[in-house]
Amino acid sequence: MENVEALKAKISELENKVKLLTTKNAREKIETMSSEVVDSNPYSRLMALKRMGIVNNYENIRNFSVAIVGVGGVGSVTAEMLTRCGIGRLILFDYDKVELANMNRLFFQPHQSGLSKVEAAAETLKNINPDVDILTYNYNITSIENFDNFSNILRTGSLTNGPVDLVLSCVDNFEARFTINAVCNEFNLTWFESGVSENAVSGHVQFIVPGETACFACAPPLVVASNIDEKTLKRDGVCAASLPTTMGVIAGFLVQNALKYLLKFGNVSNYLGYSALTDFFPNMNLKPNPHCDDSNCQLRQREFAAKPKVQVVENKQESDTPVHEDNEWGISLVDESVENDKGAQNVASGVSLAYAVPDKDIGDVEVSKSDDTSLEELMAQMKAI
């Protein structure tokens, strides 16, 4: 009998241990964001932004729903930042699995290898902040059978069943970016595009308000030049390089600008680049292309043109001025002192188009050697869509 009691005691002890290990002592949900300065308040340093005069109503962050497409090196850190900021709802899309080869970037840990990225991310994020409502979709947004579901969720994913407040693109290919672009143009959704170069030492974020700023189809995508021979990239069976530093910086720029947009403080950058080798940060405004291939972009442009001028989105310096005849892509510099060596494009120094387009569309844009080299491959990829 004593033996049985001892065994039962052992079981009870082990059960407690398992309970402790699985609950991880995560905190309880918090009903209302408080400014109280105590060690136990996870929101004290964020609510302090009000006292500092930076943000008027920080607690409004709980009203917003943000969709993150791609939960890799940039998207996972983006999700963690928004979770720690106490965003109302996060909607995560990805179809990849966590691998040890991802461990050179922040967020995922080796014991999560083999799990789906959205499942692993949701588990970590809920533990970090149980106040955030996290929804996950483990599928490829570019496949035809998922497209309707994807666009439905963006249209109804807010906390009041309206459209999500913001879409953040953290994907690694043009096909997914064009899918997001098409949905956002069709349903008039504001979004940010982001990207990191395959040599790991440059990246960018771009703010896209349909009809007001250039969409992803208005001009060839802009990439920050790294002065690296592009021929060394993109060979079959060769993986891209990546660094946790560059990805962390780009995620920081992305979420910082998302917070500025949602909580209405500071100036939201239209296009912000990062060149890690030289610590150079090109900053530009990009106007929509009246001849954009996406008819919904043209529709949004006409809607925006019909709006009274006083409704110009704040922080956009030149959005109500006409596009110059000699500047087809509508690219203009925010910092006039930045050298402009791209002629008609007016692209900031250090930034170049990711690929060239046929002559009839591109006008008198000069394309540099390295862009020429990768044109064929990129065009082939585009055609494969």
Report, as residue numbers or ranges, the catalytic residues.
239
CB of 328 to its own copies, least distance (A): 26
Does 198 bind its own copies (CB under 8 A)? Our answer is: yes
Closer to its own copies by Cβ: residue 52 or 384:
52
Query: Residues in the chain, how many?
Result: 385
Nearest by Cα to 65 from 132, 17, 131, 130: 132
Lookup: tokens for 5: 């009691």
Interface region with its own copies, contact rule CB under 8 A, candidates 104-112, 151-159, 301-309, 368-376: 104-112
Contact window for its own copies (CB under 8 A) among 144-152, 247-255, 318-326, 362-370: 247-255
Angle at 98 between CA 94 and CA 103, to 5 degrees: 125
Segment near its own copies (CB under 8 A), from 96-104, 179-187, 352-360, 371-379?
Answer: 96-104
- Footprint of its own copies on residues 76-95 (CB under 8 A)? 77, 80-81, 84-86
CA gap 239, 130 in Å, rounded: 36
Q: Which one of 79, 90, 183, 200 is in contact with its own copies (CB under 8 A)?
A: 200
Residues 6+ apart with CB under 8 A from 30: 42, 43, 131
Q: By CB under 8 A, what part of segment 119-138 binds its own copies?
A: 124, 127-129
Task: Please report how many Cα atoms fall inside a 13 Å half-sphere around the Cα of residue 381, on the Cβ side.
Answer: 15
Q: Which one, 231 or 307, has the nearer CB to its own copies?
A: 231
Structure tokens at 37: 């300065």
The binder of its own copies chosen from 29, 32, 111, 311 (CB under 8 A): 111
Binding mask 252-271 for its own copies (x = CB under 8 A): xx-xxx-xx----xxx-x--
68 is an interface residue for its own copies by CB under 8 A = no
105, 244 contact by CB (below 8 A): yes
Closer residue to its own copies (CB): 196 or 215: 196
Binder among 103, 159, 313, 367 for its own copies (CB under 8 A):
103
Under the binding rule (CB under 8 A), the answer on residue 237 touching its own copies is: yes
Nearest to 216 by CA among 93, 317, 355: 355
SS3 content of the chain, % helix, strand, coil (to 5): 40, 15, 45
User: CA–CA separation, 165 vs 187, rounded Å?
Assistant: 12
Q: Please report how close the Cβ of residue 222 comes to its own copies at its closest, in angstroms.
A: 16
The whole-angstrom distance between residue 200's C-alpha and the CA centroid of its chain comes to: 17
The Cα 233–Cα 230 span in angstroms is 5
Between residue 310 and residue 349, which ones bind its own copies under the rule CB under 8 A?
Answer: 337-339
Residue 49 CB, nearest approach to its own copies (Å):
5
What letter would DSSP give residue 139? S
The interface region with its own copies, picked from 6-14, 134-142, 159-167, 212-220 by CB under 8 A, is 6-14
Q: How many residues bind its own copies (CB under 8 A)?
A: 95
* Residues 27-46 interacting with its own copies (rule: CB under 8 A): 27, 37-46
Q: How far from 278 is each of 155, 275, 305, 361, CA to CA, in Å?
A: 41, 6, 39, 33
